[in-house]
Amino acid sequence: MGNRLKDRLIRQIRLDGPIPMSLFMQICLHDPVDGYYATRPGLGSDFTTAPELSQTFGELIGAWVAHEWQSMGKPAPFALIEYGPGRARLMSDALRILNHTPAGEALRLHLVEASPALRAVQTETLAHASPVFLDGPERLPDMPTMIVANEFLDCLPARQFAHDGDHWRERLVGLGREGTLTLGLDANDALTAPHDLNASPSTTLAEVQPGLNTLVDALAAHSKRGTLMRVLLVDYGTMDTAPSDTLRAYKAGKQVDPFAAPGEADLTVDVDFGRLKRLAMTAGLSVAGPVPQGAFLGALGLQTRLDRLIRAAPDKADDLFVGAQRLVAPSEMGERFKAICLSSPGLPDPAGFPARAG
Ligand code: SAH
Protein backbone atom coordinates (compact mmCIF):
# COMPACT_ATOMS: atom_id res chain seq x y z
CA MET A 1 0.00 0.00 0.00
CA GLY A 2 1.33 3.44 -0.88
CA ASN A 3 1.86 6.18 1.63
CA ARG A 4 -0.36 9.12 0.80
CA LEU A 5 1.44 11.60 3.02
CA LYS A 6 4.79 10.70 1.44
CA ASP A 7 3.35 11.31 -2.03
CA ARG A 8 1.92 14.62 -0.88
CA LEU A 9 5.24 15.72 0.66
CA ILE A 10 7.20 14.77 -2.47
CA ARG A 11 4.75 16.69 -4.64
CA GLN A 12 4.87 19.73 -2.38
CA ILE A 13 8.68 19.77 -2.30
CA ARG A 14 8.88 19.34 -6.06
CA LEU A 15 6.61 22.37 -6.52
CA ASP A 16 7.70 24.49 -3.63
CA GLY A 17 11.25 23.51 -2.71
CA PRO A 18 12.86 21.84 0.30
CA ILE A 19 11.36 22.43 3.74
CA PRO A 20 12.85 22.84 7.23
CA MET A 21 12.97 19.68 9.32
CA SER A 22 10.58 21.35 11.76
CA LEU A 23 7.92 21.69 9.06
CA PHE A 24 8.49 18.09 8.02
CA MET A 25 7.97 16.98 11.64
CA GLN A 26 4.95 19.22 12.03
CA ILE A 27 3.28 17.74 8.93
CA CYS A 28 4.16 14.13 9.79
CA LEU A 29 2.82 14.45 13.32
CA HIS A 30 -0.04 16.91 12.95
CA ASP A 31 -1.42 16.78 9.40
CA PRO A 32 -5.17 16.68 10.09
CA VAL A 33 -5.82 13.93 7.53
CA ASP A 34 -2.69 11.79 7.18
CA GLY A 35 -0.58 12.80 10.21
CA TYR A 36 0.54 10.42 12.93
CA TYR A 37 -1.77 11.80 15.61
CA ALA A 38 -4.78 11.90 13.29
CA THR A 39 -4.35 8.36 11.98
CA ARG A 40 -2.52 6.35 14.63
CA PRO A 41 -4.19 5.87 17.91
CA GLY A 42 -0.71 5.59 19.44
CA LEU A 43 -2.26 2.90 21.54
CA GLY A 44 -0.15 0.07 20.26
CA SER A 45 3.48 -0.16 21.15
CA ASP A 46 4.96 2.79 19.24
CA PHE A 47 6.32 4.07 22.53
CA THR A 48 6.83 2.88 26.10
CA THR A 49 7.31 5.53 28.74
CA ALA A 50 8.27 5.86 32.39
CA PRO A 51 4.69 5.88 33.75
CA GLU A 52 3.98 2.71 31.79
CA LEU A 53 7.03 0.96 33.22
CA SER A 54 6.27 1.69 36.85
CA GLN A 55 3.36 3.11 38.81
CA THR A 56 5.88 4.75 41.15
CA PHE A 57 6.57 7.42 38.50
CA GLY A 58 3.05 8.88 38.51
CA GLU A 59 2.64 8.30 42.24
CA LEU A 60 5.77 10.26 43.10
CA ILE A 61 4.67 13.07 40.78
CA GLY A 62 1.27 13.06 42.51
CA ALA A 63 2.99 13.40 45.87
CA TRP A 64 5.20 16.15 44.42
CA VAL A 65 2.13 18.09 43.23
CA ALA A 66 0.49 17.75 46.67
CA HIS A 67 3.66 19.01 48.35
CA GLU A 68 4.21 21.92 45.97
CA TRP A 69 0.57 22.93 46.23
CA GLN A 70 1.16 23.34 49.97
CA SER A 71 4.28 25.39 49.40
CA MET A 72 2.33 27.63 46.99
CA GLY A 73 -0.05 28.43 49.86
CA LYS A 74 -2.78 25.87 49.04
CA PRO A 75 -4.55 27.86 46.32
CA ALA A 76 -8.10 26.58 45.79
CA PRO A 77 -9.19 25.95 43.19
CA PHE A 78 -6.07 25.42 41.12
CA ALA A 79 -5.56 24.05 37.61
CA LEU A 80 -3.62 20.80 37.39
CA ILE A 81 -2.63 20.57 33.74
CA GLU A 82 -0.94 17.70 31.94
CA TYR A 83 0.61 18.17 28.50
CA GLY A 84 0.49 15.03 26.33
CA PRO A 85 -1.00 12.53 28.81
CA GLY A 86 -0.70 9.56 26.39
CA ARG A 87 -2.58 6.60 27.80
CA ALA A 88 -3.16 8.55 31.06
CA ARG A 89 -1.07 6.27 33.25
CA LEU A 90 0.88 9.10 34.85
CA MET A 91 -2.27 11.04 35.79
CA SER A 92 -4.17 7.95 37.02
CA ASP A 93 -1.31 7.09 39.36
CA ALA A 94 -0.85 10.72 40.43
CA LEU A 95 -4.57 11.19 41.19
CA ARG A 96 -4.65 8.03 43.32
CA ILE A 97 -2.15 9.76 45.62
CA LEU A 98 -3.57 13.28 45.26
CA ASN A 99 -7.07 12.17 46.16
CA HIS A 100 -5.84 11.21 49.63
CA THR A 101 -4.62 14.78 50.16
CA PRO A 102 -6.37 18.17 50.46
CA ALA A 103 -4.98 19.07 47.01
CA GLY A 104 -7.31 16.42 45.55
CA GLU A 105 -10.33 18.57 46.47
CA ALA A 106 -8.83 21.77 45.11
CA LEU A 107 -7.57 20.56 41.74
CA ARG A 108 -9.34 21.10 38.43
CA LEU A 109 -7.89 18.72 35.89
CA HIS A 110 -6.97 20.08 32.43
CA LEU A 111 -5.35 18.14 29.60
CA VAL A 112 -3.61 19.10 26.35
CA GLU A 113 -3.66 16.32 23.77
CA ALA A 114 -3.18 16.36 19.99
CA SER A 115 -4.46 12.87 19.23
CA PRO A 116 -8.25 12.39 19.12
CA ALA A 117 -7.83 8.69 19.86
CA LEU A 118 -5.71 9.37 22.93
CA ARG A 119 -8.17 12.08 24.03
CA ALA A 120 -10.88 9.40 24.03
CA VAL A 121 -8.74 7.12 26.20
CA GLN A 122 -7.95 9.96 28.60
CA THR A 123 -11.61 11.01 28.83
CA GLU A 124 -12.57 7.48 29.84
CA THR A 125 -9.64 6.64 32.11
CA LEU A 126 -9.77 9.95 33.98
CA ALA A 127 -13.58 10.35 33.93
CA HIS A 128 -13.66 10.46 37.75
CA ALA A 129 -11.70 13.74 37.59
CA SER A 130 -13.83 15.32 34.80
CA PRO A 131 -10.92 16.55 32.67
CA VAL A 132 -11.28 19.70 30.60
CA PHE A 133 -9.31 19.76 27.33
CA LEU A 134 -7.33 22.91 26.50
CA ASP A 135 -6.74 24.00 22.90
CA GLY A 136 -2.96 23.94 23.21
CA PRO A 137 -0.10 24.17 25.70
CA GLU A 138 -0.19 27.96 25.50
CA ARG A 139 -3.90 28.27 26.29
CA LEU A 140 -3.80 28.42 30.06
CA PRO A 141 -6.82 28.90 32.32
CA ASP A 142 -6.95 31.91 34.61
CA MET A 143 -6.19 30.07 37.86
CA PRO A 144 -3.15 29.17 39.94
CA THR A 145 -1.48 26.56 37.80
CA MET A 146 0.55 23.38 38.15
CA ILE A 147 1.67 21.75 34.92
CA VAL A 148 3.26 18.33 34.53
CA ALA A 149 4.51 16.70 31.34
CA ASN A 150 6.50 13.58 30.58
CA GLU A 151 7.92 13.06 27.10
CA PHE A 152 6.02 16.01 25.66
CA LEU A 153 8.84 18.42 24.75
CA ASP A 154 10.59 15.81 22.59
CA CYS A 155 7.60 15.90 20.20
CA LEU A 156 8.07 19.62 19.46
CA PRO A 157 9.48 20.01 15.93
CA ALA A 158 13.17 20.85 15.57
CA ARG A 159 15.22 22.70 12.96
CA GLN A 160 18.72 21.51 12.18
CA PHE A 161 21.72 23.68 11.33
CA ALA A 162 25.13 22.65 10.01
CA HIS A 163 28.24 24.78 10.41
CA ASP A 164 30.69 24.80 7.50
CA GLY A 165 33.49 26.61 9.29
CA ASP A 166 32.20 30.09 8.52
CA HIS A 167 28.44 29.98 8.40
CA TRP A 168 25.42 28.14 9.61
CA ARG A 169 23.32 26.58 6.92
CA GLU A 170 20.00 24.92 7.53
CA ARG A 171 19.49 21.24 6.75
CA LEU A 172 16.31 20.90 4.73
CA VAL A 173 14.14 17.97 3.74
CA GLY A 174 14.31 17.74 -0.02
CA LEU A 175 14.38 15.15 -2.77
CA GLY A 176 17.28 12.81 -3.41
CA ARG A 177 18.37 11.60 -6.81
CA GLU A 178 15.68 8.92 -6.97
CA GLY A 179 13.04 11.41 -5.92
CA THR A 180 12.96 10.12 -2.35
CA LEU A 181 12.80 12.29 0.76
CA THR A 182 16.22 13.10 2.14
CA LEU A 183 18.07 15.71 4.24
CA GLY A 184 20.31 18.13 2.40
CA LEU A 185 21.99 21.48 3.04
CA ASP A 186 20.30 24.72 2.06
CA ALA A 187 22.29 26.31 -0.75
CA ASN A 188 22.18 29.63 1.10
CA ASP A 189 23.50 30.66 4.49
CA ALA A 190 20.79 30.44 7.10
CA LEU A 191 19.05 33.81 7.32
CA THR A 192 17.53 32.92 10.62
CA ALA A 193 20.12 30.70 12.27
CA PRO A 194 19.21 31.22 15.88
CA HIS A 195 21.82 33.44 17.52
CA ASP A 196 21.41 31.47 20.74
CA LEU A 197 22.45 28.14 19.22
CA ASN A 198 23.96 26.28 22.11
CA ALA A 199 26.53 24.45 20.03
CA SER A 200 29.95 23.62 21.40
CA PRO A 201 32.86 25.06 19.35
CA SER A 202 33.61 21.65 17.87
CA THR A 203 30.00 20.99 16.89
CA THR A 204 29.07 21.12 13.25
CA LEU A 205 25.41 20.22 13.69
CA ALA A 206 22.92 21.74 16.11
CA GLU A 207 19.18 21.45 16.61
CA VAL A 208 16.72 24.05 17.82
CA GLN A 209 13.10 23.57 18.82
CA PRO A 210 11.33 26.89 18.16
CA GLY A 211 8.37 25.54 20.12
CA LEU A 212 10.38 25.93 23.33
CA ASN A 213 10.40 29.71 22.77
CA THR A 214 6.65 29.81 22.22
CA LEU A 215 5.99 27.69 25.27
CA VAL A 216 8.29 29.68 27.56
CA ASP A 217 6.76 32.95 26.33
CA ALA A 218 3.26 31.70 27.17
CA LEU A 219 4.32 30.46 30.61
CA ALA A 220 6.11 33.72 31.37
CA ALA A 221 3.07 35.75 30.27
CA HIS A 222 0.87 33.58 32.51
CA SER A 223 3.18 34.22 35.46
CA LYS A 224 3.44 37.97 34.71
CA ARG A 225 -0.35 38.25 34.98
CA GLY A 226 0.25 37.44 38.64
CA THR A 227 -0.64 33.76 38.43
CA LEU A 228 1.12 31.37 40.80
CA MET A 229 2.67 28.68 38.65
CA ARG A 230 4.86 25.57 38.84
CA VAL A 231 5.77 23.55 35.76
CA LEU A 232 7.47 20.13 35.95
CA LEU A 233 8.88 18.86 32.66
CA VAL A 234 10.57 15.47 32.27
CA ASP A 235 12.19 14.35 29.04
CA TYR A 236 15.37 13.11 27.42
CA GLY A 237 17.95 15.55 26.22
CA THR A 238 21.18 17.40 26.72
CA MET A 239 22.28 19.87 29.40
CA ASP A 240 25.47 21.50 28.19
CA THR A 241 25.29 21.70 24.41
CA ALA A 242 22.56 21.57 21.79
CA PRO A 243 21.50 18.15 20.52
CA SER A 244 23.07 17.63 17.12
CA ASP A 245 21.42 15.03 14.94
CA THR A 246 18.72 13.35 16.96
CA LEU A 247 15.61 13.00 14.77
CA ARG A 248 14.27 9.48 15.33
CA ALA A 249 11.15 7.65 14.22
CA TYR A 250 9.45 4.80 16.09
CA LYS A 251 6.88 2.42 14.74
CA ALA A 252 5.55 -0.57 16.67
CA GLY A 253 8.36 -0.28 19.20
CA LYS A 254 11.11 -0.30 16.59
CA GLN A 255 13.27 2.53 15.34
CA VAL A 256 12.63 3.15 11.64
CA ASP A 257 13.84 5.57 8.95
CA PRO A 258 11.97 8.88 9.56
CA PHE A 259 11.64 9.44 5.79
CA ALA A 260 10.40 5.96 4.87
CA ALA A 261 6.77 6.20 5.91
CA PRO A 262 5.77 9.73 7.00
CA GLY A 263 2.78 9.84 9.30
CA GLU A 264 3.07 6.18 10.22
CA ALA A 265 5.79 6.60 12.81
CA ASP A 266 6.13 8.70 15.96
CA LEU A 267 8.88 11.32 15.57
CA THR A 268 11.07 12.62 18.35
CA VAL A 269 14.19 14.69 19.04
CA ASP A 270 16.35 15.30 22.10
CA VAL A 271 15.50 18.38 24.16
CA ASP A 272 18.06 21.14 24.75
CA PHE A 273 17.59 21.64 28.50
CA GLY A 274 20.38 24.22 28.66
CA ARG A 275 18.57 26.38 26.14
CA LEU A 276 15.20 25.85 27.83
CA LYS A 277 16.70 26.99 31.11
CA ARG A 278 18.24 30.12 29.57
CA LEU A 279 15.01 31.02 27.80
CA ALA A 280 13.00 30.62 31.00
CA MET A 281 15.40 32.64 33.13
CA THR A 282 15.57 35.41 30.54
CA ALA A 283 11.77 35.50 30.54
CA GLY A 284 11.77 36.06 34.32
CA LEU A 285 10.81 32.59 35.51
CA SER A 286 12.57 30.75 38.35
CA VAL A 287 14.28 27.58 37.22
CA ALA A 288 15.29 24.52 39.25
CA GLY A 289 17.32 21.80 37.55
CA PRO A 290 17.66 20.18 35.17
CA VAL A 291 18.56 17.14 37.27
CA PRO A 292 18.86 13.56 36.06
CA GLN A 293 15.64 11.57 36.46
CA GLY A 294 17.34 9.01 38.72
CA ALA A 295 18.41 11.68 41.19
CA PHE A 296 15.02 13.41 41.01
CA LEU A 297 12.98 10.26 41.73
CA GLY A 298 15.48 9.19 44.40
CA ALA A 299 15.08 12.53 46.18
CA LEU A 300 11.29 12.18 46.03
CA GLY A 301 11.50 8.85 47.90
CA LEU A 302 11.32 6.19 45.19
CA GLN A 303 12.86 3.53 47.43
CA THR A 304 10.37 4.07 50.25
CA ARG A 305 7.46 4.00 47.82
CA LEU A 306 8.75 0.82 46.20
CA ASP A 307 9.26 -0.91 49.56
CA ARG A 308 5.69 -0.11 50.50
CA LEU A 309 4.29 -1.44 47.22
CA ILE A 310 6.30 -4.64 47.56
CA ARG A 311 5.12 -5.19 51.14
CA ALA A 312 1.52 -4.80 49.94
CA ALA A 313 1.98 -7.20 47.01
CA PRO A 314 4.94 -9.53 47.65
CA ASP A 315 3.97 -11.77 44.73
CA LYS A 316 4.61 -8.83 42.37
CA ALA A 317 7.93 -7.89 43.97
CA ASP A 318 10.07 -8.78 40.96
CA ASP A 319 8.01 -6.80 38.44
CA LEU A 320 7.73 -3.82 40.75
CA PHE A 321 11.45 -3.83 41.37
CA VAL A 322 12.44 -4.22 37.72
CA GLY A 323 10.07 -1.45 36.55
CA ALA A 324 11.28 1.04 39.15
CA GLN A 325 14.88 0.10 38.49
CA ARG A 326 14.53 1.00 34.81
CA LEU A 327 13.45 4.53 35.76
CA VAL A 328 16.59 5.24 37.77
CA ALA A 329 19.39 3.00 36.48
CA PRO A 330 22.04 5.15 34.78
CA SER A 331 22.20 2.64 31.92
CA GLU A 332 18.43 2.95 31.35
CA MET A 333 16.44 6.15 31.97
CA GLY A 334 18.19 7.44 35.10
CA GLU A 335 20.74 9.74 33.40
CA ARG A 336 19.43 10.36 29.91
CA PHE A 337 16.09 11.66 31.19
CA LYS A 338 16.04 14.92 33.07
CA ALA A 339 13.58 16.89 35.16
CA ILE A 340 13.35 20.67 35.17
CA CYS A 341 10.97 22.91 37.12
CA LEU A 342 9.93 26.39 35.94
CA SER A 343 8.06 28.55 38.43
CA SER A 344 6.63 31.99 38.87
CA PRO A 345 9.16 33.98 40.90
CA GLY A 346 9.18 34.06 44.69
CA LEU A 347 8.19 30.48 45.52
CA PRO A 348 10.31 28.20 47.73
CA ASP A 349 12.68 25.74 45.99
CA PRO A 350 10.68 22.80 44.64
CA ALA A 351 11.14 19.32 46.16
CA GLY A 352 13.38 16.89 44.32
CA PHE A 353 15.85 19.51 43.13
CA PRO A 354 19.01 20.48 44.99
CA ALA A 355 18.53 23.88 46.66
CA ARG A 356 19.74 26.73 44.48
CA ALA A 357 23.00 28.24 45.57
CA GLY A 358 22.92 31.84 46.80
N1 SAH B 1 3.06 11.54 28.81
C2 SAH B 1 2.72 10.23 28.28
C3 SAH B 1 2.77 10.15 26.75
C4 SAH B 1 4.06 10.61 26.09
S5 SAH B 1 3.96 10.55 24.32
C6 SAH B 1 3.59 9.19 28.91
O7 SAH B 1 4.57 9.55 29.56
O8 SAH B 1 3.30 8.01 28.77
C9 SAH B 1 3.63 12.22 23.87
C10 SAH B 1 2.25 12.69 24.16
O11 SAH B 1 2.14 14.06 23.77
C12 SAH B 1 1.16 11.97 23.41
O13 SAH B 1 0.03 11.91 24.22
C14 SAH B 1 0.98 12.88 22.20
O15 SAH B 1 -0.22 12.64 21.55
C16 SAH B 1 1.07 14.23 22.84
N17 SAH B 1 1.48 15.36 22.00
C18 SAH B 1 2.58 15.47 21.24
N19 SAH B 1 2.68 16.68 20.64
C20 SAH B 1 1.60 17.38 21.05
C21 SAH B 1 1.13 18.71 20.80
N22 SAH B 1 1.80 19.56 20.02
N23 SAH B 1 -0.01 19.10 21.41
C24 SAH B 1 -0.68 18.26 22.23
N25 SAH B 1 -0.28 17.00 22.51
C26 SAH B 1 0.84 16.56 21.93
Per residue in 225-243, pLDDT (tens digit) is 999 999 999 999 999 888 9
Please give the share of the chain, as a percent, with pLDDT higher than 90: 82
Mutate to test the pocket of ligand 1, among 113, 154, 250 (most ligand atoms within 8 A of CB): 113
Between the CA of residue 39 and those of 45, 145, 308, 322, 328, what are the distances in Å? Answer: 15, 32, 41, 33, 33
CA–centroid distance, 51 to ligand 1, in Å, is 13
Which of 241, 293, 251, 250 has the alpha carbon at shortest distance from 268?
250
Residue ID of nearest Cα to ligand 1 atom 19 = 155
Please tell me the chain's helix, strand, coil percentages from 3-state DSSP, rounded to the nearest 5: 40, 20, 40
Between the CA of residue 97 and those of 62, 93, 311, what are the distances in Å? Answer: 6, 7, 18
pLDDT in tens, 167-222: 788 999 999 988 899 999 888 776 666 556 666 666 688 999 999 999 999 999 99
151 lines ligand 1 (CB under 6 A): yes
Angle (CA) 251 255 257, round 5°: 90
CA–centroid distance, 87 to ligand 1, in Å, is 9
pTM for this entry: 0.95
pLDDT higher than 50, residue 76: yes
Between the CA of residue 9 and those of 176, 181, 246, what are the distances in Å? Answer: 13, 8, 21
What is the chain's length?
358
Q: What is the mean pLDDT of the chain?
A: 92
Which atom of ligand 1 is the closest one to the Cα of 112? 24
CA–centroid distance, 30 to ligand 1, in Å, is 12
Mutate to test the pocket of ligand 1, among 53, 152, 153 (most ligand atoms within 8 A of CB): 152
DSSP 349: P
Ramachandran angles phi, psi of 231, nearest 5°: -130, 120
